[in-house]
Amino acid sequence: MNHLSRIREKLVHFEALLITDEKNQRYACGFPFTDGYVLVSREKAWILTDSRYTEAASHAVDQEITILQFDNAHPKEPMLKRLLDEEKLTKVAVEDRRLSHAAFLKLETAMERVLLPAGDLLSVLRSSKDPEELRFMREAQAISEKALEETLQVIHPGMSEKEVAAELVYRMLRHGGDGNAFDPIVVTGKNTSLPHGVPGNTILQPGDFLTMDFGSLKGGYCSDMTRTVALCSATEEMQNIYSLVLEAQLAGIRAAKSGIPGQEIDAAARKVIQDAGFGAYFGHGFGHSLGLDIHEEPHLNPREKRLMPEGAVVSAEPGIYLPGRFGVRIEDVMILRPEGSEVITKAPKDRLLIIG
C-alpha cells in the first residue's frame, strides 16, 4: 500500500515533496523505516535508507519506487543533494511542521537550495482514510476488543493496575496485534479521576471503578477504546455518572458526520454533561482523529472549526472526572460519512458492567 498518487495530485506548486517523518514516510511508500528520506516527484519516487532496511524495502514497496542505500562512505545528505541536482528539482517542499527550525535550516543548507514549507499537505491527506487503511483499523479494533473480552474474565480485586495493563498488552499481541497504539491507561479507585493516569501498583478494591484506555496496532494503524467497569459493586452515584457519560457519548455519535465542524459534534455531547451540572468536570475534547498516529487532525473539541472530512476515523470519548473521588470515560471509534457515522467498536457499553 502506498499513497504516491494522492500525494502527486497535491504537487501543484511544488516539483517534489521531501518526507522526513517516519509515519508520513510509511503513508507515502507503505514501508516503515527509521532513518532516511522519501522523495516524491510528479513522476518518480525514491527511498533513501541504510543497509538495515534496503532488502526488506525491496520486497515490500512497488517497483516504481527506487531504493538508494547510504552508508558511511556515501552519507545521506550529499546523496540526496546529488539526486535533487540530477533530477533538476528546485521547488522542493519539506514537512516544516514535523521538523524543528534548526533541522529545517540544516537540511536547507545541505541541499544548497531554498526549501518550501509543505504546511498541512500530508495531514490533510491522512485525515481521510481509504478502504485499505480502514481494513487495518477494523482489524486493530477487533484485536483490542478480543483482548478486553478475555481480560475481563481474569480481573479480580487484589490485582494491581500494572497487572491489568499487562494482561491487555499480552492478549493484544497474542491475537495478532503488531504492538501498542500507545501506552495503556489502566487506573482504579481515585486514580480514575486522572484522564491520562499511568498504571501503577494501586490494588483493585471492591466497590471501585476500573478504567482501561488502550489500543492495538495493525499494519501500522491504531485502534483506541476505553471502558470503565465496577469491581463487585457500584453505588447509585457511580451508576448515574456512568449513565450520564454514556448519554453524552451517544448524543455526540448521533451528531457526528463529515462536512461539519468538529466543534459542532463536541457541543452535542458537551451539552448533555453541562445540562446535568457536570460541565466543569469534562475538561478535554469529545474526540480526536486517529490513523498511523493515535492523535491526528482534525479534532472534535470546542475550538475545532475545520470541517470533518469524509472517511475520517475519530474517537468518541467524553468523560466526567471528580477529583479525588472517581472518573468515568467511555470511548468508541467511528468512521465519518456525509449521512452520519459508523461506529466500529462493538464491545458492550449499554450498562455499567460489574465484574469480579
**Rounded Cα–Cα distance for residues 254 and 340 (Å):** 7
* AA identity, residue 138: R
Query: Residue 315, SS3?
Result: strand
- For residue 299, the model assigns a pLDDT of 98
Question: What separation in angstroms does the CA of 6 have from each of 32, 102, 122, 126, 179?
Answer: 19, 29, 10, 10, 28
Could you tell me which residues are beta bridge partners of residue 203?
160
**Rounded Cα–Cα distance for residues 16 and 354 (Å):** 56
- For residue 295, the model assigns a pLDDT of 98
Spell out, as residue ranges, where the chain has pLDDT lower than 70.
Answer: none
C-alpha cell at position 146: 478480543
Q: How many CB atoms lie within 10 A of CB 275?
A: 11
**Rounded Cα–Cα distance for residues 1 and 295 (Å):** 21
C-alpha cell at position 237: 452515584
- For residue 1, the model assigns a pLDDT of 85
Count helices and strands (H / E) in the chain: 10, 19
Domains parsed from the chain with CATH numbers: 4-126 (3.40.350.10), 128-355 (3.90.230.10)
- For residue 285, the model assigns a pLDDT of 98
pLDDT (tens digit per residue) in 22-74? 999 999 999 988 899 999 999 999 999 999 999 999 999 998 999 999 999 99
Which residues are CB-contacts of 184 (< 8 A; sequence separation ≥ 6)? 165, 168, 169, 199, 212, 213, 214
**Rounded Cα–Cα distance for residues 18 and 6 (Å):** 15
Question: How does strand 92-94 pair with strand 116-117?
Answer: parallel
- For residue 356, the model assigns a pLDDT of 87
| DSSP sequence for 175-220 | TT--SBSS--EEEEGGGGG-TT----SPBP-TT-EEEEEE-BEETT
